[in-house]
Chains A and B, each alone.
Chain A
Amino acid sequence: MPLPSYTLGVMEASAYAPEVFARGLPSGPRPEQSFEDVAKSAGAVAGDASALLSLQGISLSFGGVVALADIDLSVRQGEIRAIIGPNGAGKSSLINVISGVYRPDRGHVQLDGTSYAQVPTQRLAHLGVARTFQNLALFKGLSVLDNVASGLAYKVRSNFAGQVLGIGRSRGEQRDSRSRAEQILEFLHLTAIRDRLVGTLPYGLQKRVELARALVAEPRLLLLDEPMAGMTASEKSEMASFVRAARDRFATTVVLIEHDVGVVMGLSDRIAVLDYGRKIADATPDEVRNDQRVIDAYLGVASDNEDGAGI
């Protein structure tokens, strides 16, 4: 990679970093301006250093099944990046690799400048990465509020004895995590059900609670595996607006898997298309919509799928 652009990338990153690293609740939406600046400079080079997340030559197979084949991907700070593709294309596998649940056979995941052969799952939250799961992964025995507050577990420094006796920093931590969880519940319109056991909620709401649990840590990178699966059209558009609002409010970079092409086209800045573990396209929604390979592999006749029907 050319040296000048690289330097530029680093400069951009460090100019941006202080805001990104500040994990307190931002007071308002981020100025769009800075995203575009970063975006422009990043656009100049592929796989540049200003990318928050980049994958290099990721391959993964299960027995004979190739889930991912030599995938490169670069996600810029602040962007909403969709990953689409037919069933079994390797989308979830990709997110599992990014979050360290799977170790790729080859390739590296670069997070914020550090390269990993396998991302350390246990430290994921500390690295500012949060995720949701295709199949709900909530804690059924906990209330909505406790599920969401558990998203801050990585910050807890008090030990069990302090918590039992209510001494030391445990009280402050408890108060802090509750109030932050409550803010997120408010943000996602979940306050009314905060004391319900999550297991008793309808599917769509559980999906939203899972988003809340991921968001409460104010992650710099948010990985969403089909957050709108199984939702009605109005629930989907509500969820899409939450994802957008989360990006704007927390300056979170979003990687999103979604089958509903209509939603994806409206929501994302860029779309990567997977097919049989290969990346067959990586472009803006408009370009993807008109890409012949994508149409053949996934979209069918493009005009039929404007609204994402049948996928």
Chain B
Amino acid sequence: MTAITSDFVAAPVLPKWVVPVLLLAFAYGVVPLIGSSYVFEAILLPFLALSLAGVGLNILTGYAGQVSLGSAAFMAAGAFAAYNFNLRVEGLPLIGSIFLAGIVAAAIGIVFGLPSLRLKGFYLAVSTLAAQFFVQWALTKFSWFSNNSASGVIDAPRLSISGLALDGAVGRYLFALTIVTVLTFLAYRLVSSQTGRNFIAIRDNETAARIIGIPVLRTKLLAFAISSFIIGVAGVIWAFAYLRTVEPDGFDLDRSFQILFIIIIGGLASIRGAFFGAALILVFPLALSRLGGFLLGDLFDSGVLDMSQRIVLGALIILFLILEPDGLVALWDRVRRRLLFAWQST
């Protein structure tokens, strides 16, 4: 519990469930009423999918200390597995397909997590690239995965839960929001459990962890499995709720890096951090294009936008790594403490 809560114990005013509950009440009760379809399609749906992927990667990298560059591969595995379960298993409810897709992603995660038993840090990160390239290659090479469609791009099934159609923007938003809420809550419970503390122990000192009897190998593979499960489900949300197509192209190395940046910027070993990071990484290009268009007018075409995005994002990551290695979450908590302090001392 302390692993993630201790950094904000200093704000004793509210019990810690209050903020999440208020946010959820807003997300369920207010957002569907006021959001435009642009907000849902372009911001909230990718935000939810990427946040969930960030939560998944944070369990592996932030908590258990195993660096991975294979996140997009696990998203792809989840998306394609859900598509195929839905297509090929008669009468399986959508939720069943999604759960099984998570299991498939977890199994692939365990296989590509095996090198972690020997490799650490940079070398491990490079070996997870194997997952990235292998999964993308397999999905492109074997057309069975995309039901032999000529283009390799397939329409995702329409979302519905027990007959209730959820294929409008708001419906897909609520669908994604519910899955993200449930999995995030479970992830939070996990990181504050004995298993979560074992993850942190292995990250902080593997030898000491082994000596006090933590089953190091099993725990590492468990971290890969759970992380990949969550990332796999995030992939389903990405394909089914956000893009509404299933294709390997969107799950490339860039995506893996994007998710890694999300947790670095948001805050490693913090569940909230994934949401902070995803918000920044999504809102930032939109803000930049508005700003660029405003300042430079027509000069600011899409090429310039793309380039300036990369440059500013790169600079941002370096800045965070140097100045605020604990990410936006730490920054936010500090600002909040200051405000609280200022408010209390008036």
Residues of chain A at the chain B interface (Cβ within 8 Å) = 99, 101, 121-126, 130-131, 133, 137-143, 145-146, 149-151, 153-156, 158-160, 163-166, 170, 173-174, 177, 195-197, 213, 217
Contacts and interface: CB of A to CB of B under 8 A. Distances in A.
A137 B213 contact: no
Interface string B180-191: 000000100110
Given A125-B213, A160-B222, A138 B208 contact: yes
Given A137-B205, A139-B201, A139-B205, A125 B194 contact: no
Q: Which of A99, A125, A150, A158 has the most CB of B within 10 A?
A: A150
A145 B3 CA distance: 11
A131 B194 contact: no
A163 B191 CA distance: 10
B249 to A, nearest CB: 34
Given A139-B200, A142-B3, A160 B195 contact: yes
24 contacts: A121-B210, A122-B215, A123-B213, A124-B211, A125-B211, A125-B213, A138-B208, A139-B204, A139-B208, A139-B209, A142-B197, A142-B201, A146-B2, A150-B197, A154-B213, A154-B214, A160-B195, A163-B190, A163-B194, A163-B195, A164-B186, A164-B193, A170-B193, A197-B2
Contact of B204 (A130, A140, A156): A140
Nearest to B9: A195
Contacts of B342: none
B278 interface: no
A164 B190 contact: yes
Interface in B209-231: 209-216, 222, 226
A174 B194 contact: yes
B9 A153 contact: no
A217 B212 contact: yes
3 closest A-B pairs (Cβ-Cβ)?
A: A154-B213, A125-B213, A143-B2
Interface in B129-163: none
B205 A142 contact: no
B142 to A, nearest CB: 33
B345 interface: no
A141 B205 contact: no
A242 to B, nearest CB: 19
Nearest to A158: B194
Interface residues of B, number: 31
Given A101-B207, A101-B211, A124-B213, 12 more contacts: A138-B205, A139-B197, A139-B204, A141-B204, A142-B200, A142-B201, A150-B198, A153-B201, A153-B213, A154-B212, A160-B222, A160-B226
B246 interface: no
Interface in B1-18: 1-3, 6, 9
B225 to A, nearest CB: 9
A163 B216 CA distance: 18
A213 B194 contact: no
A174 B212 CA distance: 17
A213 B9 CA distance: 23
B340 to A, nearest CB: 19
Contacts of A163: 189-190, 193-195
B4 to A, nearest CB: 9
Contacts of B207: 101, 137
A121 B125 CA distance: 27
Contacts of B226: 160
Q: Which of B1, B195, B198 has the most CB of A within 10 A?
A: B195
B54 to A, nearest CB: 18
Contacts of B203: 141
Nearest to A151: B212
Contacts of A141: 3, 200, 203-204, 269
B211 A156 contact: no
A160 B190 contact: yes
A277 B231 CA distance: 52
Contacts of B213: 122-126, 153-155
A137 B226 CA distance: 27
Given A122-B213, A146-B2, A160-B222, A173 B204 contact: no
Contacts of A153: 194, 197-198, 201, 209, 212-214
B204 A138 contact: yes
Contacts of A138: 204-205, 208
Nearest to B4: A141
A84 B190 CA distance: 44
A195 to B, nearest CB: 7
Contacts of A170: 193-194
B37 to A, nearest CB: 36
Given A139-B208, A151-B212, A197 B6 contact: yes
Contacts of A197: 2, 6
Contacts of B3: 141-143, 146
Nearest to B2: A143
A199 to B, nearest CB: 9
B222 A121 contact: no
B58 to A, nearest CB: 13
A143 B192 CA distance: 12
A126 B214 CA distance: 11
B222 A131 contact: no
B211 A195 contact: no
Given A160-B226, A163-B194, A213-B212, A195 B205 contact: no
A163 B212 CA distance: 20
B193 A143 contact: no
Nearest to A160: B195
B288 to A, nearest CB: 34
Contacts of A154: 212-214
A211 to B, nearest CB: 13
A156 B198 CA distance: 11
Nearest to A200: B6
